[in-house]
Structure 1
Amino acid sequence: MLFCGISSSVYILNDMVDIEKDRRHPVKKFRPLASGDIKVSHALTILILLCPCVLVLSFLVNSIFGAIILIYFILNVSYSFKLKEFVIIDVLIISIGFVLRSLSGCLTTGDKIPVWFLLSVAFLTLFLGFNKRKKEILTLSGQTQNTRKILSEYSIGLINEMLPMLTSCTVVAYACFSIFEANSRYMIATLPIAVYGIFRYQYLLSKTDLGERPEMIVLRDRPIRFAVLLWVIVYISLQSNLFI
């Protein structure tokens, strides 16, 4: 819940900083601040109230957890004001944010930190991030200077060279997690499901216009929803030792 709070603070701040650019974006113009559904003054009030409360409560829960929350916040504030202007670093910052979220979950539950799982998260979010950049370039088609200047630093060819490597790294990292770090030795059984999900997602990117909103692909595509449900069922079954 605390990470949701600090993430909300970051999203509010980022949307406030980018409000004018978002208004010129064909997709982001529908965001609450850019569209005018929520006033900037109201968003600023929420930010001022929410952010300090989350930071204080995080350190009360656990000093290490609080430090992760603080690092996440500082990193994303830096992203909102400057780091998103640097090619590749912009996507790396987003990926690090998701790794910090996963790391905080491991620390709060007291579990051993699964290095291969964190690498899986890192590579998967890089895969999603660069796919999003690719779709933004195709959507804006020459208007990148008016919305996100950093997009002009990317090219479809460059991203297409990165994606196969990231796909391979994601699959290998997840395979290593399922073999060496998972609680069940049969966790490798979930690997084909994960691979199918990645390939299905890549296929859908070439067929739909949902690349800028990865969550919508998961919500709208029935095969991916089925794959996620199947993964959850197999995972719970393995953790419950139903197959042993």
Structure 2
Amino acid sequence: MNAGPSTAAGSAELRGEPPLVVDLDGTLCYSDTLWEALLLFLKHHFWQAWRLPLWLLLGKAGFKAALAGRIALDPGALPYDQTLQRELEHQRAQGRRLVLATGADQRWAERLAAHLGPFEQVLASAGGVNLTSRAKADALVRLYGAHGYDYIGNSRADLAVWQSSRHAYSVTRKPFRLADGRHTEHIGSVRPQPLAALWRAMRPRQWLKNLLVFVPMLAGHALNAGALAQSLLAFAAFSLCASSAYLLNDALDAHDDRRHPDKRRRPLAAGTLPLPLALAASPLLALGAFTLCALFDPLLLAVVGIYLAATLAYSLRLKRMLMIDIVTLALLYTVRILGGCAATLIAPSFWLLAFSFFVFLSLALLKRYSELFNLHSRGQDKSSGRGYTVADKAPISIMGINSAFLSVLIFMLYFNSQTVLTMYRHPYFLLGIVPLLVFWLGRLWTLAFSGQVNEDPVLYVSRDKVSLTVLALCFGLALAAT
């Protein structure tokens, strides 16, 4: 369609026009209310997941009704097609009657219609009838007669509804061909390609964190092709596993992310990535990681399995628990180093594990501090989906700064250990790393206090020229010491 349905009417009022009927899931709303409610149920009532198969026995409409009895969707936390919304508001201003006809449960549909405003009538699933496809078409024909309404939909499930409509509109780029030879016309915003959105949601930039699997190879001076190949295998496995966890985490957090000024742009929060596609891709990526490990490195499989289990626990529960979430984040970084140890069969040293835990604990605390700083600057008090308030900024910063300098102290003790004397020919070069660490960690926390560090310090470091220079100098001193 080249223009909205108001084009044909020009500036004339549309009171004589047949009603304009609009679908909800995937059309006016980018997302699907059933999937949204299902994920909210799993997030808040995970231990009642055994009920879901029983509700399926009630049929699709019964399943939706059972969910609607326990989950009240927040209309303000759903992603809408704003271009289509503006068109509907224009139609309503011209006197056109607007009808919301959806397969969503009646309770959800009525709440969303009340929030959106312009609809005079709501038709939805109720009384055991799932109002989609032929059932929706029959209901509209009974009310308005064949070809007595215009319809806006989005999928093949709407073919029967379009066939009975006067004008057929779709929000998809590619038109649908109807049995009578007509084609749907485009309306609304141009939807992005889901595969491109899936790639973004996999967060390939976050794979930088998985470079930690190369630390055991470097720290153990195992600079050979075999250790490099094994570390690359670990990097691939952790990257696949991390992307699997990111997809699930973002799906569970979509409602909360939509209230965040930055996270609302994530593909799942914005509705550009369909929830079913993300939930299908997540286990496939995890399966790919496990298959890779099982074929080449069974020991790595155990570590990756622990990493995924901890990540899932974090997404489902731990991230809402005070301090437990921060300790879990620090441990997840350390597990990546253990993954590199498992892949290369290099035994992790006490010094490496102690240093890495405290430095990553400091970065995890820095992440939470930055979130609370931004929350305070927006005039809010409590973070959505987290167990913190802005009053927690002070103790978090104290613990974070102490953890940073504890890691420096551990490195200084390592410099004086017997291990250094046996592994390095010129160990005194390592002493130069100490002031660099003090400068780097102190600078990060000082910038955080002025709000200059974003909510993911690892990504901030990857773009910060000063941090990259410091890390390069530390690496150069370590090479000079060998």
Q: What TM-score do you get using the length of structure 1 for normalisation?
A: 0.88
Q: What secondary structure, in the 3-state scheme, does the structure 1 residue paired with 2:388 have?
A: helix
Contact 1:210 1:217 in 2 (8 A): yes
Contact 1:134 1:156 in 2 (8 A): yes
Pairing of 1:195-206 with structure 2 (within 5 A) = 195-206=438-449
Report whether the alignment pairs 1:150 with 2:387.
yes
Pairing of 1:132-211 with structure 2 (within 5 A) = 132-141=367-376, 143=380, 145=382, 147-152=384-389, 155-180=392-417, 181-182=419-420, 183-184=423-424, 185-186=427-428, 187-211=430-454
Question: Which letter maps to 1:62?
Answer: D
Contact 1:107 1:113 in 2 (8 A): no
Q: What secondary structure, in the 3-state scheme, does the structure 2 residue paired with 1:38 have?
A: coil
Pairing of 1:34-113 with structure 2 (within 5 A) = 34-113=269-348
Q: What secondary structure, in the 3-state scheme, does the structure 1 residue paired with 2:387 have?
A: helix
Q: Which runs of 5+ in 1 are unaligned?
A: 240-244
CA distance in 1, matches of 2:391, 2:350: 30
How much has 1:25 moved relative to structure 2? 0.9
CA distance in 2, matches of 1:25, 1:159: 21
Contact 2:374 2:451 in 1 (8 A): no
Larger radius of gyration: 2
Contact 2:366 2:457 in 1 (8 A): no
Equivalent residue number for residue 246 of structure 2:
11
Aligned counterpart for 2:263 among listed residues 5, 28, 39: 28
Equivalent residue number for residue 120 of structure 1:
355
Q: What secondary structure, in the 3-state scheme, does the structure 1 residue paired with 2:407 have?
A: helix
Contact 1:201 1:217 in 2 (8 A): no
Q: What secondary structure, in the 3-state scheme, does the structure 1 residue paired with 2:243 have?
A: helix
Deviations 1:102-154 (A, max 9, x none): 01112222323122111111111111111111121121125354623412396
Aligned counterpart for 1:226 among listed residues 452, 456, 469: 469
Equivalent residue number for residue 198 of structure 2:
none
- Distance of aligned partners of 1:178 and 1:87 in 2 relative to their CA distance in 1, 3 Å threshold: same
How much has 1:13 moved relative to structure 2? 1.1
Contact 2:321 2:386 in 1 (8 A): no
How much has 1:30 moved relative to structure 2? 2.1
Point out the structure with the larger strand share: 2
Identity among equivalent positions (%) equals 27
Contact 2:244 2:286 in 1 (8 A): yes
CA distance in 2, matches of 1:153, 1:136: 9
Contact 2:401 2:445 in 1 (8 A): no
CA distance in 2, matches of 1:233, 1:138: 35
Contact 2:257 2:264 in 1 (8 A): yes
Q: Out of 169-178 and 96-105, give the one that drifted further.
A: 169-178
CA distance in 2, matches of 1:147, 1:82: 14
CA distance in 2, matches of 1:208, 1:157: 14
Q: Out of 28-37 and 177-186, give the one that drifted further.
A: 177-186
- Distance of aligned partners of 1:214 and 1:127 in 2 relative to their CA distance in 1, 3 Å threshold: same
Contact 1:200 1:224 in 2 (8 A): no
Question: Which letter maps to 2:474?
Answer: W
Q: Out of 148-157 and 19-28, give the one that drifted further.
A: 148-157
Consecutive aligned runs of 4 or more in structure 1 exceeding 4 Å deviation: none
CA distance in 1, matches of 2:452, 2:479: 33
Q: Which runs of 5+ in 2 are unaligned?
A: 1-235
Point out the structure with the larger helix share: 1
CA distance in 2, matches of 1:5, 1:34: 21
Deviations 1:174-218 (A, max 9, x none): 223444345323333322222221112122212343231213432
Equivalent residue number for residue 242 of structure 1:
none
